[in-house]
Amino acid sequence: MSGMEGPVLVVPGLNGSGPNHWQSWMEALIGARRVDQDDWTRPDIDLWSARVADAIVAQARPVWLVAHSFGCLASVVAVSRLADRIAGALLVAPASPDKFGITARIPDTPLPFPTVLAASRNDPWMKFMSAARWADRWGARLIDLGEAGHVNTESGHGAWPEGLELFRQLQASAPAMTGPLQD
């Protein structure tokens, strides 16, 4: 049995993921829950990661994270203290923490759950080689998306079957984690 069971949390980045974004498409398709932020225009690592942590803790079973851009950074910070509650994470086009002056705040050790980092070679928010270094630090499987921009609506990523397939492969590769969490 794979680790496919369990709630899925979608963690958007700056400005949220609008109705035509691949995260919104995936959320509707698989019945995921969105982690909302009070202000999508003001990325704040403390507030955003606390909101992600609250959403994780609210679930009775280990969760799957599907994060994008600044949402990847908020997710990695949130899970640093909740790793036993995570089944796995798909991190797509993470934003560079350097752009927000928070590099020192981002964990740089392996994540103790299956993780895939999908990065683009022409992403304006993080250079591919930087994404590769973060994938290595986090122990994530790096997926080279080629020239896919920031993997958002502007780069043509509305419905994104390839992203859903990456997520399904991640779920299938994970150990089974189906039971309720013990406090």
Check: CB of residue 85 under 8 Å from CB of residue 57. yes
For the cut 90, the answer to whether the pLDDT of residue 32 exceeds it is: yes
Paired tokens of 92 = 């797509």
181 — pLDDT class (breaks 50, 70, 90):
low
Residue 157 forms part of a structural domain: yes
Domain count, the chain: 1
Which of 9, 11, 13, 8 is closest to 123 using CA atoms? 13
Q: Is 52 inside a domain boundary?
A: yes
pTM of the model: 0.93
Tell me, yes or no, whether 1 lies in a domain. no
Nearest Cα to Cα of residue 163 among 36, 65, 26, 48: 26
What's the CATH code of the domain at 27?
3.40.50.1820
**159-164 mean pLDDT:** 95
Residue 118 resides in a domain: yes
In the structure, what pLDDT confidence band is assigned to residue 65 with cuts at 50, 70 and 90? Answer: very high
- pLDDT tier for residue 156 given thresholds of 50, 70 and 90: confident
pLDDT > 90 in the chain, percent: 87
Domain around 104: 8-173
What are the pLDDT digits (tens) for 5-20? 789 999 999 999 999 9
Evaluate whether residue 182 is within a structural domain. no
Per-residue model confidence (pLDDT) at position 64: 98
**Confidence band for 2, pLDDT divided at 50, 70 and 90:** very low
Per-residue pLDDT at 183 exceeds 70: no
Quote the crossing angle between the two packed helices 70-79 and 45-57, to the nearest 10°. Answer: 60
